[in-house]
Amino acid sequence: MRPVLAHTHPGLRPKCAVRVCRRHEKLSGSSGMNRGLFWRNLHAPTNRARRKRAWRLTVSGCCVIYSERFDLLPRFIIYALLALFLIGVADYVYGRAVRNKILPGTITASQSSIVVPITWVWAQLDGSYAWTPPAFWGIGAAFFTFIGFWSFMRSVELGEASASTPIYRMSFVVTAMLAVWFLGESITLPKILGLVLTGCAIFLFSDFQRGSFSADKLASVLWAVTAMVAVGLVNFIYKLGVSGGVSPIMFLHSQAVFFITTAYIYSFAVQGGPKFSKKGWAHGLATAICFIFGNTALLAAFREGEATIVSPIVQLSFIVTTILATWRLSEKMTVRKSLGLAAAVGTIIAFTQ
């Protein structure tokens, strides 16, 4: 049923009020001139009680319509949309951290130091803390998360966040292909169209231009593609983990435990240990909050829905990142990027058919 909006301006005649008029006609047999008379009487000062009652019925009816439509939306779609927003914000914060000269080892160590205790407490309170065999899929998730994160940071360092982020967020192509091959999910013509649009979006966002393609741009694109593959593998592992009966928060804790080990080893090996600072902790806290709630929503969506549907929706998060990067980091939104954004949206639509 299509929702009907009730205008509160007294000079406008809403569609819902027409229904009131028709209801009046059925009861009284009035029509034509009487219909207009009924409308005028409805707004007359002498009939305020009747007018208020009509508007109350209108508003309550609209609320029922909207609540019915909301109930029709699958719960895993709601989880996916929540993950979309939070992951997009996290990607923006990662790019902002690079601009503020925060080393990758520092922000990964800061973030994981916050995520591990919070997820442990949450899993304990939730009653889902248990190291079952499927929970150890968190090792693979942690490894590929680190590879994807580090590759993305390198890509942003050499290029622009608004160009690097959409490339590696196309990781749902990897997830979808693995889900089709190993989990038996269906492959349809719209999904094939989505693959084609994905290639177009990557080409447009990569800013390939004849005679102006530098080594830094090439390296940035290659790092972004590496991150894309890694994140695609992470999402597939997420699907395997929650399909094995592990709760979302427990799987996230398992991933965080192994991730913090990798993060600190990398930090000491490359930069002599994490260089903690107020600015580093601030960025780490912001990304940790987005990571916890965003990925918990993502895991819940994978548990209830197909990977070929959930993953494309969530990867639309780069739109949030692109808008924030263009607005806050003074990056340019060119015609080429706008076309790439349109192709990316078309990709999401095609994959969700």
**Same domain as 118, residue 59:** no
* Structural domain contains residue 108: yes
Residue pLDDT, tens place only, 245-285:
999 999 999 999 999 998 899 889 888 888 888 888 999 99
Q: How far apart are CA 74 and CA 310, in angstroms?
A: 11
Asked whether the predicted pLDDT for residue 139 surpasses 50, the reply is yes
Domain boundary among 35, 51, 71: 71
Asked whether the predicted pLDDT for residue 140 surpasses 50, the reply is yes
Q: How far apart are CA 276 and CA 291, in angstroms?
A: 20
**Same domain as 270, residue 189:** yes
Task: Please state the domain count of the chain.
Answer: 2
Of 45 and 284, which is predicted with more confidence?
Answer: 284
pLDDT at residue 138, rounded to an integer = 94
**Same domain as 274, residue 241:** yes
pLDDT at residue 250, rounded to an integer = 96
**Same domain as 171, residue 261:** yes
Query: What is the DSSP secondary structure assignment for residue 6, as one 8-state letter?
Result: P
Confidence of residue 72 (pLDDT cuts 50, 70, 90): low
Q: How many residues can be counted in the chain?
A: 353
Confidence of residue 36 (pLDDT cuts 50, 70, 90): very low
Asked whether the predicted pLDDT for residue 125 surpasses 60, the reply is yes
Residue 94's nearest CA partner among 306, 86, 16 is 86
**Same domain as 131, residue 27:** no
* Structural domain contains residue 251: yes
Residue pLDDT, tens place only, 317-350:
877 877 787 776 666 777 877 887 788 778 777 7
Give ∠ CA 60-65-67 in degrees, rounded to 5.
Answer: 95
* Structural domain contains residue 310: yes
Domain boundary among 71, 90, 106: 71
* Structural domain contains residue 2: no
* Structural domain contains residue 7: no
* Structural domain contains residue 8: no
Q: Which residue has the tokens 């609320």?
A: 63
Report CA dihedral (60, 66, 71, 72) to the nearest 10 degrees: 140
Residue 285's nearest CA partner among 124, 163, 114, 143 is 114
Confidence of residue 173 (pLDDT cuts 50, 70, 90): confident
The one-letter code for the residue type at 35 is R
4-13, 45-54, 257-266, 291-300: range with lowest mean pLDDT = 4-13
Query: What is the DSSP secondary structure assignment for residue 316, as one 8-state letter?
Result: G
186 in Cβ contact with 246 (< 8 Å): no
pLDDT at residue 25, rounded to an integer = 44
71-75, 100-104, 344-348: range with lowest mean pLDDT = 71-75
Rg, the chain, Cα only = 26
**Same domain as 293, residue 243:** yes
Per the structure, the complete domain to which residue 24 belongs is given by 15-71
The one-letter code for the residue type at 194 is G
Phi–psi pair at 69, nearest 5 degrees: -65, -40
* Structural domain contains residue 5: no
**Same domain as 251, residue 193:** yes
User: What number is the average pLDDT over the span 17-33?
Assistant: 44
**Same domain as 190, residue 81:** yes
91 in Cβ contact with 166 (< 8 Å): no
**Same domain as 67, residue 183:** no
Q: What is the pTM of this model?
A: 0.69
Residue pLDDT, tens place only, 205-257:
665 554 455 666 788 888 989 999 999 999 999 999 999 999 999 999 999 99
pLDDT at residue 191, rounded to an integer = 76
Instruction: Give the Cβ contact number of residue 293 at 10 Å.
Output: 17
* Structural domain contains residue 170: yes
Report CA dihedral (156, 160, 166, 171) to the nearest 10 degrees: -20
**Same domain as 244, residue 186:** yes
pLDDT averaged over the chain? Answer: 77
pLDDT at residue 260, rounded to an integer = 92
User: What number is the average pLDDT over the span 114-128?
Assistant: 94
Q: How many separate helices (H) and strands (E) can be counted in the chain?
A: 15, 0
**Same domain as 34, residue 119:** no
**Same domain as 58, residue 128:** no
Domain boundary among 24, 52, 71: 71
